[in-house]
Amino acid sequence: MQHIQFYQEAFLKYLNDFKVERQPASLYQPIQYILDLGGKRLRPVLTLMTAEIFNCDYKKSLDAALSIEVFHNFSLIHDDIMDDAPLRRGKETVHEKWDINTGILSGDAMLIMAYQLFENYDAKTFQALAKLFSKTALEVCEGQQYDMDFETRDDVTIEEYLKMIEYKTAVLVGAAMKMGAIVAEASEKDQQNIYQFGKNLGIAFQLQDDYLDAFGDPKTFGKQVGGDIIENKKTYLYLKALEFSNDEDALQLQHLFGISPSENNDKIESVKQLFITSGSADATQQEIKNYTNKAFSVLEDIAISEEKKQVLKQFGEQLMSRKV
């Protein structure tokens, strides 16, 4: 087992060798652009790490890891179009730098390229990877649709929100880990358990992201703190605050999430205060711990050494204590 940084560096080298210099350039240049924008590369690292956890050379899983990263970035191009987002990781989004039609078509090409990477495996592995990938890709689309539907609904429940982030974010984390296990030819039981580990960690990761969006340090968070509040997103923090608040505070919170002032600082601070006083902030942190512990409990049933279980636990703890 190697350190996370080792897998990051190994993946980045492989990604850099995967230069998309084909014609027409107007289709492929945006693909290279989005892949070069950076990011945590969390999902491909998990694929490489999982392969080695099941006693397989991580290099065998590089194509599966790259497939996950290409798919993830495809989804970002289309998400940015739907959100009309001007920036991604501090740079122009693809549809802003080129145009919407280019973003749609280049994104479509990336989805196909992600599938093509499975062709480098034998027939049995190809089939297992493709089956998991198809299921996951469809769930990500379902999660995105739930997210869009929630924008116009005032009756979103906690259960619905958790399902949305499971599909939109967490299933891809679970799939990234299961792909590593598939390449390593782990048992069906171990494949399913490592998937559950990743999925639960993915839900905790997204809840942590929601929390940091409101309470993160602007110097380390990497994007605007309070962005979800500005966009009136009905996150776990918001839904829990509504549940816990008295009628007066709940009405104030709903009012704040119904306005879009030109200057947002007062709105952000007022909402954050309601998150704190209602107990929502504490409840969110507790739910992050609950899902992290749920992920850790799955490890007991995976046929790997205690040392490797500790590596996975350490990774989960680092993920949950992050500030970015």
β-strand pairing of 87-88 with 91-92: antiparallel
Condensed to tens digits (0 to 9), the pLDDT of residues 166-187 reads 999 999 999 999 999 999 999 9
Per the listing, tokens 């608040």 go with 245
Between 40 and 285, residue with greater pLDDT = 285
In single-letter form, the type of residue at position 247 comes to D
Could you give the C-alpha distances from 48 to 6, 39, 115, 122, 191, in angstroms and in order? 10, 17, 18, 18, 14
In single-letter form, the type of residue at position 47 comes to T
Is residue 153 classed exposed, middle or buried when 0-12, 13-18 and 19+ CB atoms within 10 A define those classes? exposed
In single-letter form, the type of residue at position 290 comes to N
Q: Is 312:177 a contact under the CB 8 Å cutoff?
A: no
Condensed to tens digits (0 to 9), the pLDDT of residues 286-304 reads 999 999 999 999 999 999 9
- Record the tokens describing residue 168, joined without a space: 């939109």
- Record the tokens describing residue 7, joined without a space: 């897998």
Confidence label for 222 from pLDDT (cuts 50, 70 and 90): low
Q: What is the mean pLDDT of the chain?
A: 94
- Record the tokens describing residue 142, joined without a space: 């379902």
Of 107, 103, 162, whose CA–CA distance to 291 is shortest? 162
Report how far residue 155's alpha carbon sits from residue 144's, in angstroms, rounded to the nearest whole number.
18
Q: Is the pLDDT of residue 69 over 90?
A: yes
Report how far residue 169's alpha carbon sits from residue 42's, in angstroms, rounded to the nearest whole number.
12
| pLDDT at site 250 | 96
Helix (H, G, I), strand (E, B) or coil at 85: coil
Report how far residue 248's alpha carbon sits from residue 316's, in angstroms, rounded to the nearest whole number.
39
Q: Which residues pair with 92 in a beta bridge?
A: 87
Q: How many residues does the chain have?
A: 324
| pLDDT at site 324 | 58
| pLDDT at site 199 | 98
Confidence label for 321 from pLDDT (cuts 50, 70 and 90): confident
